[in-house]
Amino acid sequence: MAGTTLLDIKGVETYYGNIRALNGVDVNVNEGEIVALIGANGAGKSTLMMTIFGAPRARAGKITFSGTDITQMPTHEIARMRIAQSPEGRRIFPRMTVMENLQMGASLDNLKYYDEDVEKVFTLFPRLKERIAQRGGTLSGGEQQMLSIGRALMARPKLLLLDEPSLGLAPLIVKQIFDAIRELNRTQGLTVFLVEQNAFGALKLATRGYVMVNGNVTMSGTGKELLANPEVRAAYLEGGHH
C-alpha cells in the first residue's frame, strides 16, 4: 500500500529550553498508510507530534510535507497545508456546542463543504449527532475524542495526526474510535499518523509502526512485525496485560 511519501521527518531535534526531547528522529509517512508511533511516557511522542506543527519548533533537522519544507512555517500555515490534528488532551472548545466545534474545524474553506462534511462526521460518529446542541465541555471523554477527530476531519485533511486517541477511554469506546480510523483509511484513503500508549491496539490498526525510547526511534517495521517482536512484546505488550 506504500504510496509516495507524504510526511518526511529527517534528523529532527527539539528542545525544551536546554533539555533535548528529540535526538534526531527519522520518521516517514506514506500516502494511504496508518502509521503508529508507540512508546512509554515521556519518550517524546507528543513532542514529535507538536514539532510537526511547529510548536515547539525543531532546532535541527527537516520536516517536509508533500515536498514542501514546513519546518519553519507558522502553525496555522502548516494547518493550511491540510494537516489536521486531534491534539493531546483533545482540546475541544468546551463552551461551544458540538456544532460550533465542527464549524471551527471547517474554517479553512470558510464552511464551503460544511453541510456535506458534517453529515460524514455524523455517519462516522452517530453519537455526536445526538449531542448536536450540547456544549463540548459537557460531553463524555469518548464523545470529546470523537468530536476532536470530527473537528479535525472537517478541515478535509490529507494527513490526520492523532495524539493518544485512546487515552482515558473505556475499551469499548477505544474500539469504536479505532474502527472509525480504520474505516476512514479504508474508504477515503485518509493517511493517519497516530501516537499511542495502547501499543497493542495501535499496532493492530497500523500499516507500519515506530517505537520511540527517550527521544530516539529505536525500532520500526510493519504493524505485524512489531507485534511479533519479542522486545516490543516485553516492553509494551506483556506488561500491559496484568
Q: Which residues bind other proteins (CB under 8 A)?
A: 53, 55, 74-76, 79-80, 84-85, 87, 91-100, 103-105, 107-108, 110-111, 132-135, 137-138, 151, 155
Please give the C-alpha separations between residue 229 and each of 15, 216, 237, in angstroms, as whole numbers. 31, 18, 10
Least distance between other proteins and beta carbon 188 (Å): 20
- Nearer Cβ to other proteins (109/231): 109
134 or 218, CB closer to other proteins? 134
Q: Specify the pairing of strand 159-163 against strand 68-69.
A: unpaired
CB of 151 to other proteins, least distance (A): 7
156 within 8 A of 114, measured Cβ to Cβ: no
CB of 115 to other proteins, least distance (A): 10
Q: In degrees, to the nearest 5, what angle opens at C-alpha 18 toward C-alphas 12 and 90?
A: 60
Least distance in angstroms from the C-beta of 27 to other proteins: 19
Q: Please, what is the minimum distance in Å from the beta carbon of residue 103 to other proteins?
A: 7
Residue 103, judged by CB atoms within 10 A of its CB (0-12, 13-18, 19+), counts as middle
> What is the spatial distance between Cα 64 and Cα 91, in angstroms, rounded to a whole number?
25
Closer of 192 and 199 to other proteins (Cβ) = 192
CB 166, CB 198: distance < 8 Å: yes
- Between 108 and 219, name the residue whose CB sits nearer to other proteins: 108
Give whichever of 66 and 103 is closer to other proteins, judged by the CB atom: 103
Q: Quick one: 16 exposed, middle or buried, by C-beta within 10 A (0-12, 13-18, 19+)?
A: exposed
- Strands 83-86, 159-163: pairing is parallel
CB of 70 to other proteins, least distance (A): 13
Output the CA torsion 133→134→140→141 (10° steps): 80
- In terms of CB distance, is 86 or 229 closer to other proteins? 86
- Least Cβ distance, residue 118 to other proteins (angstroms): 10
Residue with smaller CB distance to other proteins, 92 or 232: 92
CA dist 33 → 79, 116, 124, 206 (Å): 19, 25, 19, 8
